[in-house]
Structure 1
């Protein structure tokens, strides 16, 4: 539907763009927030650099791994080493991370409003900040969940207790063999409930959240809706970005807003309905708070 050429919509000044976004947040009948990795990066949850080196210097030295993302896909020799890596990654990004300020600021802007969040992030930041769980759709999984690696059944399991044990007892980049998690049904090793291939388990909670999200979209289809994209890149544009463009194009009353430093743009077809800010997400959120 959309032409290949995309528009950055940089005609207005920064202050004008912030002012327009503030008005749309205030006046919209519904807000649909699409959040990607850029939002967590704005909260300081970077997967490389000093934060990575502080927690994974031994893996970096042994294997040449340069960031947390690629380390999660590394073919470790043993499950003891695999879970040494993953228990640290889960602790750093889920159980010890704390809540990022941009998430708290975003909640201030939408609290009491009719909103829904769809996100590809897996770090639980929205719930840590206090967002209503019934208004969240985590499409790609959660660091706090495991599933059977086969998978032999469509269920996920909370992992906090086991992960904390792994993190506390690992030695020389390995966990004790008795801590390797196994499926309670078939005995196969467990794995992360993160979407990386066709084995990703969409459990009952996933389908319930998906239904609530799609019902929200349907119920506000012709209203003044703000489709607000924060930190969404081009890794999986079919989940948030392309649908937001399409929904905006189909609804003359809708507005599309994109805040993403270095990646803020929209198709020509919805240029007049768009606010694109090539700025730091945390700064923009701060300035939108009354």
Structure 2
């Protein structure tokens, strides 16, 4: 699924046929395995915060408190201007569902291709893939909540649990967690 996002689709109608399904099944449908449910059961009665590079919102779908989540790399559930001409994002659920319902021959109707309401340029997913990523108001509020959590717990007994962080973005979670652990004798 990941590599499909880089495929050179022949036109925007085919591009959005693929992306609408990708977004729908990865963002709006709960994962069919118990991993996120098991995690929430481990932390639900604890002081926790989730910093994630995942863009699928599976933590939220499993019941994690939205105020204790920071999706640093974006959200499949949001569109943003591809330019971007402004720092605002837009919920895409209704558009994605319409694309899925109305596509034929692996193409969405041209009129469903999302356009920026400000400049008219094409919309894109709110995914950090280049310097055009929109850090909207919600992103900044989540970043502040995460920073506050780290500051409030910096000298306390704490576990920094890193799960599945690969080699692409170690500076977001892996390396900071190593540094925070090295700076606090009460951290693991």
TM-score tier, shorter chain, comes to: over 0.9
For 1:142 and 1:99, the matched residues in 2 are separated by 20
1:217 aligns with 2:153: no
Give the secondary structure class of the aligned counterpart of 2:75. Answer: strand
Out of 135, 160, 171, the position equivalent to 1:227 is: 160
Q: Deviations over 1:81-129 (max 9, x none)?
A: 1101100101221223446411111111111211100000011101101
What does 1:84-163 correspond to in 2, within 5 Å?
Answer: 84-98=17-31, 100-163=33-96
For 1:176 and 1:97, the matched residues in 2 are separated by 27
Out of 133, 139, 144, the position equivalent to 1:206 is: 139
For 1:94 and 1:220, the matched residues in 2 are separated by 31
Q: Which has more strand, going by share of residues?
A: 1
For 2:156 and 2:32, the matched residues in 1 are separated by 32
- RMSD, matched Cα: 1.1
Specify the alignment match of 1:170 in structure 2.
103
Detail structure 1 runs of 4+ shifted over 6 Å in the superposition. Answer: none
Specify the alignment match of 1:70 in structure 2.
3
1:252 aligns with 2:185: yes
Whether the 8 Å contact between 2:23 and 2:76 is mirrored in structure 1 is yes
Q: Deviations over 1:207-235 (max 9, x none)?
A: 00001101110111111110011111111
What does 1:274-289 correspond to in 2, within 5 Å?
Answer: none
Cα 1:151–1:222 shift into 2, 3 Å: same
1:192 aligns with 2:106: no
Specify the alignment match of 2:173 in structure 1.
240
Q: Which runs of 5+ in 1 are unaligned?
A: 1-67, 256-290
Give the secondary structure class of the aligned counterpart of 2:145. Answer: helix
Corresponding pairs, count: 188
Specify the alignment match of 1:182 in structure 2.
115
Higher-RCO chain (CA-CA 8 Å, sequence separation at least 6): 1
Q: Which runs of 5+ in 2 are unaligned?
A: none
Whether the 8 Å contact between 1:147 and 1:157 is mirrored in structure 2 is yes
Whether the 8 Å contact between 1:91 and 1:97 is mirrored in structure 2 is no
Please say which structure displays the higher CA radius of gyration: 1
For 1:163 and 1:136, the matched residues in 2 are separated by 24
Whether the 8 Å contact between 2:30 and 2:62 is mirrored in structure 1 is no
